[in-house]
A and B are shown apart, each in its own frame.
Chain A
């Protein structure tokens, strides 16, 4: 119970900070939009090809934005030794991890209502409100999958000078199941699912989320024992 209360407090703190420093969040959103735009330039004005790749572009925009959001999250904590203060408070390391991972997930989920409509318009995808809700649901699963190992790696790399290189280097190969699962599932939602494969991809995403939310929480305790 105490841990749950701590997690809630930490999430509230992170979201409050996020709200106060709106420009930071805004720049991640803008980064996502620019990425979506660049993909359409890379493929060219071929609307059929754009529509076919829409799901992939959308998830890649999420993935690229996530590295920005994840590395920023811990950078803030290191200013003024805020992290040590939290651990001395004393906040349970596990609560610290789940609080951070949860606020990262929430932040990434908040990107969906902005980036998904942009993608739908740019790539001329036929999508009604029901489809959009489904896409946002899958987006949330993907965001959770990225945040779980992402928060762990961000904690480990946040004090290293080369974090910007190291975090994607570790995170991108690891989240291939998230990437494949969400791209396939979103493509099936957008383009129709004649063979009923949507559920297996969703289960894969869910399995990844469950495994990594559990494992990373346990491992994080050891990570902060050595001092982040």
Chain B
């Protein structure tokens, strides 16, 4: 795989960080989608009332 092998061994205990990284990604994307939806709905409702 990696030809330029570094002397240290494998970094252990990585799963915690991997889960944290994927969770943060999911949360941020979902939160932004949700916020956009709310803002859009509010603005378009206000438009309809006019």
Direct contact of A and B (CB under 8 A): no
